[in-house]
């Protein structure tokens, strides 16, 4: 049975899931604020000495390779092992993994651990599936539509759900696929919006049975909040707080109005 986004948001607010985020230095504060605004409880606990233990008690784990270094990778691996031992869902955000050989290697190793959900922009998903991409750094240079086949291939490889974000988002678990509209062009002009979204995907995975439903709910909530915040903002600076307010103010029934189509 599938959980519609509105029902998933009700569950999130009722359960306030604890989400462990091992994310980059740029994204930490914004991601924690996004989770709190939406109704989840973030904890940024990353070092290998404790990350595995903590992963055993959280509702979900979010892993983001944005500002990598070997000790952080140790912390990620320990946390993933802890999550897997506890049958806890985990999300991978392969930020700019094609930028250097080290980063690419780490990303492929983490994909081999079969993340419950992968969330990235089009350039990241194309490159992760071994296809040509125009990506240079952490922002997308490819259209989402060009990466849909790559997302389906990755879902087949991992047995998990894969989400691509951009002007129109795409989510697939290999069997089902959806395109999600909405959002606002200011969203990619605020750094770490995608990183924060990946942590929110984890939060929804903690409260829904099906990872495909979790990813769909998080993307739909972001689409609704972006759409609401955009007209209130003069630019990226005022968009960020308006977006946090819109996440907080979003009612479950608002998610019913976001355009979603089977793909």
Ligand X SMILES: Nc1ncnc2c1ncn2[C@@H]1O[C@H](COP(=O)(O)OP(=O)(O)OP(=O)(O)O)[C@@H](O)[C@H]1O
Restricted to residues 202-231, the positions that interact with Mg ion (CB under 5 A) are: none
Q: Are strands 60-64 and 18-22 parallel, antiparallel or unpaired?
A: parallel
Name the phi and psi angles at 10, rounded to 5.
Answer: -60, -45
DSSP E strand stretches across 38-135? 41-43, 60-64, 90-93, 117-121
- Residues of each annotated binding site for substrate: 44, 192
Query: Is residue 138 close enough to count as binding ligand TZE by CB under 6 A?
Result: yes
Task: Check if the beta carbon of residue 6 is closer than 8 Å to that of residue 252.
Answer: yes
Name which position in 194, 211, 226, 230 contacts Mg ion (CB under 5 A).
194
Cα 62 from Cα 239, distance rounded (Å): 24
Under the binding rule (CB under 6 A), the answer on residue 67 touching ligand TZE is yes
Shortest Cβ distance from residue 185 to ligand X (Å)? 4
Between 7 and 139, whose beta carbon lies closer to ligand TZE? 139
Q: By CB under 5 A, tell whether 27 contacts Mg ion.
A: no
| Residues 140-169, mask of contacts with ligand TZE (x by CB under 6 A) | ------------------------------
Q: Which two tokens stand for residue 193?
A: 């919006």
Give phi and psi for 93, each to the nearest 5: -115, 105
Q: Is 252 helix (H, G, I), strand (E, B) or coil?
A: helix
Of 108, 119, 254, the closest CA to residue 193 belongs to 119
Token representation of residue 121 = 């922009």
Q: Report how many residues bind ligand X under the rule CB under 6 A.
A: 22
Does 84 engage in binding with ligand X (CB under 6 A)? no
Nearer residue to ligand TZE within complex by CB, 124 or 213 = 124
Residue 165 as a binder of ligand X (CB under 6 A): the answer is: yes
Q: Is 99 in the site for ligand TZE (CB under 6 A)?
A: no
Please give the structure tokens belonging to residue 196. Answer: 């924060």
Q: Which does 225 bind (CB under 5 to 8 A by kind): ligand X, Mg ion, ligand TZE, none?
A: none
Q: Is 90:230 a contact under the CB 8 Å cutoff? A: no
3-state secondary structure of 100: coil
Please state whether 39 falls in left (phi above 0), alpha (psi between -120 and 50) or beta: left
- State the minimum distance, in angstroms, from the CB of residue 262 to ligand TZE: 30
Tell me: does residue 122 bind ligand TZE (CB under 6 A).
no
Footprint on this chain of ligand X (rule: CB under 6 A): 95, 121, 138-140, 165-167, 169, 183-185, 187-188, 191-195, 197, 222, 226
Footprint on this chain of Mg ion (rule: CB under 5 A): 95, 194
Footprint on this chain of ligand TZE (rule: CB under 6 A): 24, 26-27, 66-67, 95, 138, 191-192, 195
């Amino acid at each position: 049975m599938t959980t519609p986004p509105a029902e998933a948001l009700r569950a999130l607010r009722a359960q306030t899931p604890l989400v462990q985020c091992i994310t980059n230095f740029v994204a930490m504060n914004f991601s924690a604020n996004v989770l709190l605004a939406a109704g989840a409880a973030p904890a940024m606990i990353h070092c290998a000495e404790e990350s595995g233990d903590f992963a055993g008690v959280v509702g979900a784990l979010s892993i983001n390779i944005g500002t990598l270094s070997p000790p952080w990778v140790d912390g990620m691996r320990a946390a993933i092992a802890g999550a897997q031992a506890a049958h806890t869902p985990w999300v991978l955000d392969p930020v700019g993994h094609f930028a250097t050989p080290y980063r690419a290697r780490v990303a492929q190793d983490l994909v081999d651990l079969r993340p419950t959900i992968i969330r990235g922009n089009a350039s990241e998903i194309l490159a992760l599936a071994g296809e040509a991409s125009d990506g240079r750094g952490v922002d997308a240079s490819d259209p989402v539509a060009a990466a849909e086949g790559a997302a389906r291939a990755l879902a087949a490889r991992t047995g998990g759900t894969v989400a691509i974000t951009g002007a129109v988002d795409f989510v697939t678990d290999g069997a089902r696929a959806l395109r999600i509209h909405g959002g606002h062009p200011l969203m990619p002009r605020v750094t770490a919006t995608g990183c924060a979204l990946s942590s929110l995907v984890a939060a929804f995975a903690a409260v829904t049975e099906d990872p495909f439903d979790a990813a769909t709910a998080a993307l739909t909530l972001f689409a609704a909040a972006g759409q609401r915040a955009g007209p209130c903002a003069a630019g990226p600076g005022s968009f960020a707080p308006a977006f946090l307010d819109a996440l907080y103010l979003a009612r479950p029934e608002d998610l019913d109005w976001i355009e979603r189509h089977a793909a």
